Amino acid sequence: MTAPAHQERPGRIGLGRRLIASGALREDWLPTFAAVDRAAFLPDVMWPFVPADADAGTPARTVAVDRRVEPAAWYGFADSDLSIVTQWDDGRHDGIEPGTIPTSSSSQPSVVHWLLAALDVDAGMAVLDAGTGTGETAACLAHRCGARKVTTVEVDPHVSATGRERLRRQGLDVTTVVGDALAGHVANAPYDRLLCTFGVRAIPPAWAAQVRAGGVIVAPYGTHYSNRDAVVRLTVHADGTASGRFVTPVEFMKARSHRLEWPDAAEYVTDWPAPARTGLRPGQLADAAFTIGQCVADVAHTAYAERDGTPAAWFYSLTDRSWAAVRWPDGDAAGEVYQQGPRRLWDSVEVAHAWWEARGRPGLDRYGLTVTAQGATPWLDDPRCLLLTAR
């Protein structure tokens, strides 16, 4: 089967127009978008993630599509602004049906171009691409900077090999390395820029050590409170620290060593204490989720609707067996709180929410992060204004 030329595919032309209209695709990245065809970096069998459609009554779902069987549908998804799973279960999965855990993907083109814009990279700069994946992002960086200026690191040998092959088919002699991207690749350091394309729960000291002073690190960062991430843009300083602001909310697959092993409720909940009441409602909890995740350390959280539709949320400490559960049996009215253990988790959540309210409900763009060898410290508006730590 002959692949249609990407310059002529109506779907790809339309995608480019939508990306430009949204602001994701900047004018200076137009030549790269024209030169790097996402479809050239996708496998024959792939699994696009299709969001829920309320009008059509369809839930969010992952669909399987095989280019050899449904070429029109395959190219339609390749030219969409959807994320596409390319590997399940760390490669143990086989067959066309979706696996259990998505472990490698092609990110939404809009997200890719937001990351590239945040990176502020230019011709001749040395770049470390942390997470090869399909190879598409490395190809974009190679088109911008020159292939010999790009080093891409991937922990999965098979993913790395296929990414390298796709890059070479495009004539891009990028340095491809099999290894832990959290460790960087010191052999080609120092770098002017470092772009991470997977979610992290800590910024590795190796990154700042391998990026020159004045260089930039762009990475999806978050806490175990939520599966969500936020892109942070860090400038590396001469003393080896790095700091910068959050740019945009995203959600990426996590580094393998940063994945959360979900707590076993049976190990936490040994009995049910008498309930207390809270005036904090589900929507308020969701609105302040980023702040709560930054303020209440080492906590895993999930929110859902019970079988009868009752909103509920659970919180588990990752440092001891403290837990909290909240139910809102009357919908958006006062909730019932159950908590147990040395950490009063719900009390900490309420303190963090009150702190957020008192500061005018700040959005993501007011937050930043300072990274040292001792870890990451979040702040609001200014690096000297540290976030409340509610434990």
The DSSP symbol for 268 reads: H
Residue 67 has which token pair?
Answer: 């280019």
Q: Tokens 């695709």 label which residue?
A: 25
If residue 243 lies in a helix (H) or strand (E), which one and from where to where?
A: strand 242-250
Q: How deeply is 171 buried, as exposed, middle or buried, from its count of CB atoms within 10 A (0-12, 13-18, 19+)?
A: exposed
Contact 338, 273 (CB under 8 A): yes
Q: How deeply is 235 buried, as exposed, middle or buried, from its count of CB atoms within 10 A (0-12, 13-18, 19+)?
A: middle
Q: How deeply is 121 buried, as exposed, middle or buried, from its count of CB atoms within 10 A (0-12, 13-18, 19+)?
A: buried
If residue 378 lies in a helix (H) or strand (E), which one and from where to where?
A: strand 375-380
Residues 131 and 229: their CA atoms lie apart, in Å, by 16
Give ∠ CA 149-155-157 in degrees, rounded to 5.
95
Beta bridge partners of 250: 229
Residue 295 has which token pair?
Answer: 């303020």
Residue 253 has which token pair?
Answer: 């697959």
- In the chain, what is the greatest distance between 2 CA atoms, to the nearest angstrom? 67
Residues with catalytic function = 107
